[in-house]
């Protein structure tokens, strides 16, 4: 069992994004439930299920070292006694890239366990129309009625 206890789902989520930015595999896996019924889907990626697949995917992603900043906005939370679901918008900036990548919509599901709150699902996908939304709209002529 992980030594770190997350008293709230928000604490677990904060630790998740901190580990992501630091490329900290052990910190990342402390956030996840130790059950085999965990699921992770990265943008445009396949569904990863179980500890082994989830850990390996994060290990590969972190192999290049810390390289990204993640800004989390537009959090919507559905909270219950045992399960909490967060829907967020992630804006990711990668070191060396001049612009942020298109936003990503993520759903993070947390389960209350004997060891505190733990992530059981992280599903991220590109935000629809993200590229179009990032570009300013063309100027429209003013029409007076």
Which pLDDT tens digit goes with each residue over 70-121? 999 999 999 999 999 999 999 988 888 887 788 999 999 999 999 899 999 9
**Reduced 3-state DSSP string for 112-127:** EECCEEEEEEEEEEEC
Place of tokens 């992630």: 90
> What tokens were used for 100?
């942020």
> What tokens were used for 20?
């992501």
Q: Which residues contact 68 (CB under 8 A, 6 or more apart)?
A: 20, 21, 92, 93, 94, 95
Which pLDDT tens digit goes with each residue over 3-58? 789 999 999 999 999 999 999 999 999 999 999 999 999 998 999 999 999 999 99
Nearest to residue 75, comparing CAs of 43, 99, 107, 46? 107
Place of tokens 């008293």: 7
Helix (H) or strand (E) holding 56: helix 50-62
CATH architecture designation of domain 9-126? Roll (3.10)
């Amino acid at each position: 069992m992980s030594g770190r206890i997350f008293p709230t789902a928000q604490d677990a989520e904060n630790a998740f994004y901190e580990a992501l930015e630091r490329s900290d595999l052990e910190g990342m896996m402390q956030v996840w439930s130790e059950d085999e019924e965990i699921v992770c889907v990265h943008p445009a990626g396949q569904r990863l299920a179980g500890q082994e697949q989830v850990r390996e995917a994060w290990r590969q992603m972190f192999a290049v070292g810390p390289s990204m900043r993640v800004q989390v906005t537009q959090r919507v939370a559905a909270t219950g006694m045992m399960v909490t679901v967060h829907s967020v918008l992630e804006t990711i900036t990668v070191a060396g890239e001049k612009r942020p990548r298109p936003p990503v919509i993520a759903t993070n599901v947390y389960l209350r366990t004997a060891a505190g709150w733990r992530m059981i699902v992280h599903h991220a996908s590109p935000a629809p129309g993200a590229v179009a939304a990032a570009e300013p709209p063309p100027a429209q002529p003013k029409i007076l009625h």
